[in-house]
Amino acid sequence: MCKQRLPGGSGNKFKAGQNLAGLSVLWNSENDEPFFKLRANNSQPGQAVHANAAASYEVLKNLRLGVAGYALLQITDDKLDGDDQVHSRERVFGIGPGLKYKIDTWSMYVNSYYEFGAENRPEGVKFAFRIAKVF
């Protein structure tokens, strides 16, 4: 965290934001006991990539507010009994506000995402709540 002057030389200072980003590959193995209504001996969801990013500012001691977003893109088709299921690839994007509150080694995260651009899956407003402890 660093302190920088605002443009215009006003002398006011702010704490620079925390920026995070990540990229993940989601690999799915074959399921030899698929849901019985599929009437298949095995199934395998398609492989996907997932990217997320966040930027935030500390507005009070231990309290950060910011924005977060994600993208999910399925890169291979789902399979039933080894056969590709055409037009089964999922896609979705989400963006929204976030909050992080930290006490000692505990952190609480609350995010809300507005989803858009969905294909082959529902879209809407999603909420996420997470508690983490550093050991």
Kindly report the pTM of this predicted structure: 0.76
Predicted confidence (pLDDT) per residue in 85-134, tens digit? 999 999 999 999 999 999 999 999 999 999 999 999 999 999 999 999 99
Three-state secondary structure readout of 82-119: CEEECCCCCEEEEEEEEEEEEECCEEEEEEEEEEEEEE
Q: State yes or no: pLDDT of 84 exceeds 60.
A: yes
Bridge partners of residue 84, in order along the sequence:
79
The residue-averaged pLDDT of 45-52 equals 95
| pLDDT tier at 74, thresholds 50, 70, 90 | very high
pLDDT at 18: 66
